[in-house]
Chain A
Amino acid sequence: MVRFLVRSVVSTIITILLVSIGLFVLIEVGSGDISVKILGVFSTPEQRASYRAQLGLNAPTWQRYLDWLVGNDWRAKSRMTYPLITLKNPKTKEVEWWADVDGQATRWKMDKGELKRLVRKEDGFSKVMPAESDWIKGEGTEEFFWGVDNRNNAVKFVKGSGEEVWVLTKAGLRKQGDGPREYIPLRKGLIRGDAGLSWQYNRPVSMILKPRVRNTLVLAGVAFVVVMPLALFFGILAGINEGKLLDRIISITSLGATSTPEFVTGIFLILIFGIWLKVLPAVTMFTSSNAIFENPMMLALPVMTLTAVELGYVARMTRASMVEVMDSAYIRTAIVKGMPYWRVVFRHAIRNALMAPITIIMLHVNWLIGGVVVVEVIFGYPGLGKFIFDSAIFGDFSAIEAAAMVTVLIAIITRLIGDLAYTLLNPRVRYA
């Protein structure tokens, strides 16, 4: 068992790495110039180039992948005069990079050709101090300095040669003189728990992703708890009544529900219960961040939609499996030897009949987590599927990668649970 678990963990890590590389390549090939998406189509090539430099997109592909995976602060550290530290912003709770100058958190900027220190105060704001003495002599007459700017980049300033840079503000792009020559957008890397910055929202991915994952887990969890017992129950019922009226009714209904796409089911449910009868909330309106707990009724229609789609799959799979088992010799033997029918079904048939549905169920957990985009869009549900979709459209690299890591992790955990369930149901299956 221990060996089995170790093997699972190792294969999980390899799978995650492969998925992340695969996604990285796809994004690299598939999405266009990200700076156009961020800056808008009216930006000029010069502005885009400046912005790409600030995002660190000029680095080679492999380096950007490594930066994302293991971070790049060690790379910046070797160039900087002062050690790097991370601090939490007291208001936004976002992690910020600073340099430690004799115990004082410091950043730098160049203003009218002069280097200035921004020394952090208690409240998270900073005061400006002169820092002309920080310049370091380089080759020839060049004087330079590697510091941290106020957008979490390690930057290289060159004395007397400030770059004209384009900075993105809410009022659009603005040109600033005295910019740095080189940028390293600082990050710790995924393996040290930093999922990077979302380009689309300009906030750390982990902060945006968390509520999405929670919402999705709640929806998927409720749907799972509703669908699976129902599906197994109807599947078994149909299976042991093969060919009878009850079987026909269950089979036809579940086939109908499953073959209707979820956007049709969803819209009909909205029309009937939300707009016509007005008994259930038509869409999930998050009037507060905990709205799903305050008003759980708004989950009713999305769960009903997912139930309609899911029920049929699992029920039909269970039915088929049940029919097969009920046909087998040992069941016939048990019945013939006079064992009570219900005991045959519960003690002997079900355990064997559940093997196949469990595979399906576990695969569908994953679909419930990341693949219910359509349901999320119809009901306006802020979940993970929609997040992945939007990020992919935008080409938001860190966001897609992080979200994909979550789904891969869930896929692997459910596979593990599925495997364990097999061993419980069928003692012949043992993992060495």
Chain B
Amino acid sequence: MEIIKRKDRKDAHPYIPELKELYQKGRVTRREFLRNATLLGMSAAAAYAFISPFAPKKAMAAAMPKRGGTWKCGMSLQLIDHPARLSWTEGANVVRQVSEYLSDTGPDNITRPWLCEKWVASEDLKTWDLYIRKGVKFNDGQVMTADDVIFTMNEWLNKDVGSSMLGLLSYWGGPQNIEKVDDYHIRLHLVSPNIGVPEHLWHYPGVILPRNFEGDFIKQPVGTGPFILEEFAEGERAVLKARKDYWKMGEDGQPLPYLDKVMYISMSADAGLAAFQSGQTDVHYHPRPSDYLALKDNPMAKILTVDSSYCYPIRMRVDLPPWDDNRVRTALKLCQDRKKTLQLAAYGLGKLAIDAHISPAHPAYCEKPIPAYNPKKAKELLQAYASEKGLKLPLKVKLATKNDEAEPEIAQTLKQTALAGGFDIKLDITEAGGYWDRWTEVDLGITSWTHRSIATMVLPLAYTKESIGAWNETRWYDDEFSALLKDAEAQLDVEKRRSIMCKLEDIMQERGPIALSYWVQIMEIVNKRVHGMEAHPTHMHTTLRSTWLDG
């Protein structure tokens, strides 16, 4: 490891050598190493070089990117005002082409420096040094310096702006803890240690704004990004034009982007499908499973996928009978035929899950065997419960859910497979609004949960005592679980974090409130002529700057 040692600098985080050692001993995976090392300030190139020192530099692309062309995508468009107030992916997809973030979390879930050249965290993770990239210009000609970054951070932390960054960055302790060291160097003094700083800087409202920003992005679309906003008509279209003096160079030595124009056009899902099939658009945004079926054999379509932690847990309210009895909960978990569910609900696209809200897409996931379908054991458990309560099998229960995603298929499958286990499930499926009106109230339901990049972001939301009354739809909490969760949030050591995750997963499987069959695979369907695009677990279009069209 001679090469690496030379690259080590004194400002690198002291945990990095240990991380390297763990990786060499095979105790952290390749991905975990990359992720944690980059978060701690090691450059992604150095991290990749470390894990494969002798591998050739990224195989040459088959073809040199071509320049020019208009990239079109059908996607709904709503009102945008202050980027710090963005609350939906579609708006962020437009804004992120014009403005950029300090960091960049790639489709591989690894966070790299972006407008920040690099960051350095102190040993206790409470002081973070951010070094701002030099020579980056906004599209109105101003040079970006620490002043712009600090102005933007103040906007995030300003109550009157109302950004969701405010809650996320509560551990920053307010604007007074941001120190300007010089024009290209900012130091954050955190109130409590957090390894997630670089990841949070990529939260989608966090684009860097010019210091004279007045609050309306449509009127003042000034950013450092590769595109300029030419037109934005909510509910109709967004037109973005390439900028000539973008700071990052393409493979041909000229400034990115390769595309001349990017166009988002608002249209319904069905019209979007037809537009894609006829070649009028290049990307079919957010495909439904039925769209996948329609397009999977289409010779002009290319399907990009990535694993995510998006899921549909079947959740049981532990404060109501019969779900207050763990035997009944366990019986329902045993009644899942996961393979069949995945096949019927998602055409086999996705990863089988255990009954815990911790995904293999999360770092420090602890690998567990997928439980088998076992209606016999389920029936035994139910029988014991029923005879105790003086009930007769099959146990009649009602499963509520919504119909806008894969839930009806999951519910139908469970109804069939649980029959042998002694459940008689009645389905209560309504349109999405109808379910969202009562999702925390129904005793048995299927709720969709969106992708979150780390498990410690989702578990406190739904499985702690404090979250009852908010998003804890099952009313389940467990003292041991909560204590372990607190440990995990503050744990830097990957291996130790994983051993905590192992326990958390065990507890949820053993006595937890959810049954979970699979993790959704996020899919992006693009025209074959589109190159350089990748699917991202958040559904964001993060790589348009280096996307190009062939033909």
Contacts and interface: CB of A to CB of B under 8 A. Distances in A.
Contact of A285 (B80, B86, B233, B265): B265
A406 interface: no
Contacts of A281: 278, 280
A348 to B, nearest CB: 49
Interface in A261-294: 270, 274-275, 278, 281-283, 285-289
A93 interface: no
- Residue of A170, A201, A379 with highest tally of chain B CB at under 10 A: A170
A286 B277 CA distance: 17
Contacts of A287: 72, 237, 239, 263, 265
Interface residues of A, number: 28
B85 A286 contact: no
A201 B236 contact: no
B327 interface: no
B261 to A, nearest CB: 10
Nearest to B269: A380
A41 B437 contact: yes
A350 to B, nearest CB: 41
A328 interface: no
Interface in B240-297: 263, 265, 267-268, 270-272, 274-275, 277-281
Contacts of B87: 170-172
A202 B79 CA distance: 10
B278 A278 contact: yes
Interface in B480-501: none
Contacts of A202: 79
A42 interface: yes
Interface in A365-412: 377-380, 382
Given A289-B236, A382-B236, A278 B275 contact: no
Contacts of A378: 270-271, 274
A377 B280 contact: no
B235 interface: yes
Contacts of B268: 377, 380
B257 to A, nearest CB: 19
What secondary structure prevails in chain B residues at the interface with A? loop
Contacts of B154: none
B267 A380 contact: yes
B162 interface: yes
A377 B277 contact: no
B11 interface: no
A41 B433 contact: yes
B82 A170 contact: yes
Contacts, number: 90
Interface residues of B, number: 38
A75 interface: no
B265 A289 contact: no
A380 B272 contact: yes
Interface in B139-187: 161-164
B82 A275 contact: no
B81 interface: yes
Nearest to A208: B235
A91 B236 contact: no
A170 B79 contact: yes
A34 to B, nearest CB: 13
A282 B278 contact: yes
B396 interface: no
Interface in A148-179: 169-172, 174
Contact of B271 (A172, A174, A283, A288): A283
Given A171-B162, A278-B279, A201 B235 contact: yes
Contacts of B74: 285, 380
B231 interface: yes
A171 B164 contact: yes
Interface in B205-220: 219
Nearest to B237: A286
A252 B82 CA distance: 59
Contacts of B8: none
Nearest to A36: B437
A403 to B, nearest CB: 15
A201 B234 contact: yes
Contacts of A275: 274, 277-278
Interface in A45-91: 91
A286 B236 contact: yes
B436 interface: yes
Contacts of B267: 283, 285, 380
A144 to B, nearest CB: 26
Contacts of B233: 289
A283 B433 contact: no
Contact of B278 (A41, A170, A171, A270): A270
A380 B231 contact: no
Contacts of B280: 274, 281-283, 285
A399 to B, nearest CB: 13
Contact of B265 (A174, A278, A282, A286): A286
Contact of B163 (A171, A274, A282, A283): A171
Contacts of A382: 235-236
A271 to B, nearest CB: 8
A289 B80 CA distance: 19
Nearest to B433: A41
Contact of B275 (A91, A289, A380): A380
Given A91-B219, A171-B85, A285 B162 contact: no
B168 to A, nearest CB: 12
B81 A285 contact: no
Contacts of B277: 274-275, 282
B162 A274 contact: no
Contacts of A42: 436
21 contacts: A41-B436, A170-B80, A170-B87, A171-B85, A201-B234, A202-B79, A208-B235, A270-B278, A274-B277, A274-B280, A275-B278, A281-B278, A282-B278, A282-B280, A283-B272, A283-B278, A285-B281, A288-B239, A378-B270, A382-B235, A382-B236
Closest 9 CB pairs of A and B: A380-B271, A282-B278, A170-B85, A380-B267, A274-B278, A171-B162, A41-B436, A171-B85, A275-B277
Given A275-B278, A285-B265, 4 more contacts: A170-B85, A274-B280, A278-B278, A283-B274
Interface of B: 72, 74, 79-82, 85-87, 161-164, 219, 231, 233-237, 239, 263, 265, 267-268, 270-272, 274-275, 277-281, 433, 436-437
